[in-house]
Structure 1
Amino acid sequence: MANTPYPQSYYAASANAVPPRPALQGEVETDVCVIGAGYTGLSSALFLLENGFRVTVLEAAKVGFGASGRNGGQIVNSYSRDIDVIERSVGPQQAQLLGQMAFEGGRIIRERVAKYQIQCDLKDGGVFAALNSKHMGHLESQKRLWERYGHTQLELLDERRIREVVACENYVGGLLDMSGGHIHPLNLALGEAAAVESLGGTIYEQSAAVRIERGATPVVHTAQGKVKAKFIIVAGNAYLGNLVPELAAKSMPCGTQVITTAPLGDELAKTLLPQDFCVEDCNYLLDYYRLTSDKRLIFGGGVVYGARDPANIEAIIRPKMLKAFPQLKDVKIDYAWTGNFLLTLSRLPQVGRIGDNIYYSQGCSGHGVTYTHLAGKVLAEALRGQAERFDAFADLPHYPFPGGQLLRTPFAAMGAWYYGLRDKLGF
């Protein structure tokens, strides 16, 4: 049987040691079968187990193989489209519910790390960096918006203050969110998987779901086994493929690229990011970066629509890094990798139910570290019969990409070109 290893990333190279997990063989019965051992699936499994459900998780490769173990490792609040966009498109009650949940995912991560003693290099503090006055105006509005929903751990940074937190001459100011922060994302996933198992949950790796037999008692089939369940949670996101065709039609896998430098040493690392905050800029096609626990710089950015792997990731991302930090021109790049996230046309997550017993959450649109942890709680609430928060997400309007699967990639790439031009011209 095929054995899919982790990609050759910094995260895989520095992952905490974990025991091997078996592939599913034969038939098992459970209350809930979760498809996907990334953050959405693991968060769902944990909340369900804490509420007395029997849970079996099927993972096509290894825990955290997809976006959960490859992302920039930044804890960023809200959604890929902020609450003001939601307010304009839905009624006030739905907007209020979604706004209240926009800051919950980061709290869930910190609660999990503390409760289950997960070693994932958790650090507090995230910066949104403004490259021009328009960006700064947006951040001022964002601060007012978030404070309206009770989120107060925010500080506007003028040009002098942002120089104190990041040694980049390109920024005119920023917004510091002390409830943001960063983690080693794969180690967070591995720690959550261990927590799932500590509560009696079972995780099968190298066990891709190949078919769902729908009905009153649905069955998930793998190559060498099957899981009979009362409920299914579909949590494959960009790595789900066409397992559930009605979900594939309204989303598109996209790739983002990440590089990691050789260790910089304490002195150089501290000059770049003196407070060890993570940073993302305010461009539509944004760059993001942070330090690791061993004083490397992780720098990511760029989007490849349709989730193709670029031939030379370093050639795409290194110039972006040097634009921010020209002082790193002689620093070696030790790791370069790509990972897929799932984009929706609205850039808001898609949550719902198929029939009576198949639940799903997908389409974080590049903003998934916090949202996925919230999604697990919301899905678990729905399975327990508390559907108000689930319904607030499920009622968001979603549409297929224009032109269907054949044309969704070129249409999205055209849109990205337009917004990339806007980034360059500053309007």
Structure 2
Amino acid sequence: MALSPVNEHVASYYAATANSASRRPALAEDIDCDVCVVGAGFTGISAALHLAEQGRRVVVLESARVGFGASGRNGGQIVNGYSRDMDVIEAKYGAETARALGDMAFEGNRIIRSRIREYDIACDLKDGNLFAACNARQMQGLVEHKALWERYGNRELELLEGEALKREVNSERYVGGLVDHSGGHLHPLNLVTGQASAFETLGGKIYEQTPVIEVSHEEPVTLRTPGGVVKAERVVMAGNAYLQGVMPALEGKSMPCGTQVITTEPLPEAQARELIPHDMAVEDCNYLLDYYRLTADGRLLYGGGVNYGGQDPADIESVIRPKMMKTFPQLAGVGIEYAWSGNFLMTLNRLPQFGRINRNVYYAQGYSGHGVTCSHLAGRLIAEVMGGEAGRFDAFAGLPHLPFPGGRLLRVPLSALGAWYYATRDRLGF
């Protein structure tokens, strides 16, 4: 596998099969706009597109390429909800907050699908995702999960056990599962670049290879880059795990985490359909979960593991292939053609962080592994709050942004210790 140049797309299956390799210029002048968005991933592009649809003059600054970070590297699964479920949110933050967030828990999914339809984005969209239980405790959790999600309006859920489960995923690892027929999977890099192109048709401007060096919070906000300056009435900080150094105030209450993905060579059609007969995306219920799906050209894309702090392992295939073989021993000897990693941003309470800085700078980050859907919701809520409708944005902004115990020095070892504890529970079936 070839290494990618710095600030170019990582050498992934997604980059190799992208619809377009078109580049945007770096900023080389001083400009003014209504809104400047920093970061051209799902959050930034979603916000930019919503704002452009409102008729605002929007500029997007990206330090690398559109979809360079997690938005162009993830597992491609459309998973509803948040990294913490509604019962946890209600217990910790009250029924009113839980209801507000619960009313939006499935909206990001709907936004993605409406964007694909409206702007005719080719991104290999498929329906259905499956949560797979490795033991009886996890299966009982899925029973409770189904009842909980049905309370919040998801009526497209189906519990499976025994042979019914084997008809969806041909593995001996699982005792049962929960299908969310409203979920799905897709090519995430093509989704984000397709929305970026839609944004540009509305007059929006995207500048790649344009890192923000300094932000001045006067009015208008001034953002300095190596080649020019942007003055904006309002700013959206949407760099997530790749925003280090730009907004130090946001860094102490979140932590970049790395996850790894491999993709096989194309499988014979019969073998691919034997693994996942109805082409759903799958993730297990372990704390350090595995996730996988078939690509449009019949490969198995398999991911898992977390590196706290975002460091890459020396050999990604050696980390992920054993996980894949445990799930599908029938793939012994299959070739691996792509292996890559990327960072997502984790928060202590595993809930996203929305907020404002000095009234005119907005941010949304920290989806903790559930960013595909929630980032699209974030873009809509940012557009709403800038349009004077603050209620839904503030439902998230009111959640506490908790510092990691031990600060930046100890957050990695303490998080790893906690993960070891929960992974041990999973292995023992507790």
TM-score (norm 2): 0.98
| Counterpart Cα distance in 1 of 2:409 and 2:109 | 37
What per-residue deviation string (whole Å, max 9, x for no partner) do you get for residues 27-83 of structure 1? Answer: 111000000000000000011111111100000100000000000000000000011
Corresponding residue for 1:309?
312
Q: Please tell me whether residue 358 in structure 1 is matched to residue 349 in structure 2.
A: no
Counterpart check, 1:141 vs 2:157: no
Pairing of 1:401-416 with structure 2 (within 5 A): 401-416=404-419
CA shift, 1:19, in A, is 2.5
1:419 partner letter: Y
1:32 aligns with 35
Tell me the distance in 1 between the aligned counterparts of 2:191 and 2:71: 9
Match of 2:49 among 39, 46, 50: 46
Matches within 5 A, 1:5-24: 5-24=8-27
1:102-145 Cα deviation digits (max 9, x unpaired): 00000000000000000000000000001111111111111111
2:103 aligns with one of 94, 100, 105: 100
Q: Structure 1 residues 338-347 or 90-99, which shifts more?
A: 90-99
Aligned counterparts of 2:162 and 2:376: Cα–Cα separation in 1: 34
Aligned to 1:217: 220
RMSD: 0.9
Choose from 381, 388, 404 the match for 1:385: 388
Gaps (5+ residues) in structure 2?
none
1:287 corresponds to 2:281: no
1:131 aligned partner, one-letter code: C
> What SS does the aligned partner of 1:56 have?
strand
Counterpart amino acid of residue 188 in structure 1: L
CA distance in 1, matches of 2:22, 2:351: 36
Match of 1:118 in 2: 121
> Can you list the C-alpha shifts for 1:274-312, whole angstroms capped at 9, x where unaligned?
100000000010000000000000000000011111100
Q: CA deviation at 1:17?
A: 1.6
Q: 2-side partners of 1:117 and 1:192: how far apart?
A: 10
Query: Which residue, 57, 61, 64 being the options, matches 2:60?
Result: 57
The aligned residue for residue 179 of structure 1 is 182
Deviation at 1:227, TM superposition (A): 0.8
Counterpart AA for 1:417: W
Give the AA of the match of 1:369: V
1:170 and 1:324 in contact (8 A); partners too: yes
Which secondary structure state, in structure 2, belongs to the residue aligned with residue 48 of structure 1? helix
Match of 2:134 among 120, 123, 131: 131
* Other structure's SS at 1:165 match: coil
What secondary structure, in the 3-state scheme, does the structure 1 residue paired with 2:103 have?
helix
Looking at structure 1, the residues matched to 201 and 162 of structure 2 have their Cα atoms a distance apart, in angstroms, of: 48
Distance 2:7 2:69 in 1: 11
SS at match of 2:143: helix
1:3 Cα deviation (Å)? 6.5
Aligned pair count reads 426
Shift of 1:327: 0.5
1:35/1:235 contact within 8 Å kept? yes
Cα distance between partner residues in 1 of 2:257 and 2:22: 31
User: Counterpart in 2 of 1:426?
Assistant: 429
For residues 185 and 176 of structure 1, the distance between their equivalents in structure 2, rounded to whole angstroms, comes to 21
What is the letter of the counterpart of residue 162 of structure 2? E
Alignment partners' CA distance in 1, 2:213 and 2:415: 28
2:354 and 2:365 in contact (8 A); partners too: yes
Check the 8 A contact 1:18/1:190 in 2, yes or no: no
SS of match in other structure, 2:301: strand
- Structure 1 residues 3 and 421: alpha-carbon distance in aligned structure 2, compared to 1, 3 A threshold: closer
> Aligned-pair distance for 1:402?
1.0
- The C-alpha deviation readout for 1:340-394, integer Å capped at 9, x for no partner, is 0001000000000001100000100011100000000011101111000011000
Percent identity among equivalent residues?
A: 60
Q: Residue type matched to 2:240 in 1?
A: N
- Structure 1: 4+ residue segments shifted above 2 A: none
Return the match for 1:78 from 68, 76, 81.
81
> CA offsets, 1:151-182, max 9 Å, x none?
10110111221100011111111000011100
Match of 1:101, SS state, is coil
1:164 aligns with 2:167: yes
By how many angstroms is 1:18 displaced?
Answer: 4.1
Runs of 5+ consecutive residues of structure 1 not aligned to the other structure: none
Question: 2:38, 2:61 within 8 Å by CA — same for their partners in 1?
Answer: yes
Measured in 1, the distance between the counterparts of 2:101 and 2:6 equals 40
Distance in 1 between residues matched to 2:177 and 2:32, nearest whole Å: 51
**Conservation of the 8 A alpha-carbon contact between 1:133 and 1:172:** yes
Displacement, 1:98? 0.2
Instruction: Name the stretch that deviates more: 228-237 or 158-167.
Output: 158-167
What is the CA-CA distance between 1:422 and the residue it aligns to?
1.1
Aligned to 1:239: 242
- Bigger drift between 407-416 and 117-126 goes to 407-416
CA contact (8 A) 1:3 1:206 kept: no
Q: Counterpart of 1:304 in structure 2: which amino acid? A: N
8 Å CA contact 2:351, 2:367 repeated in 1: yes
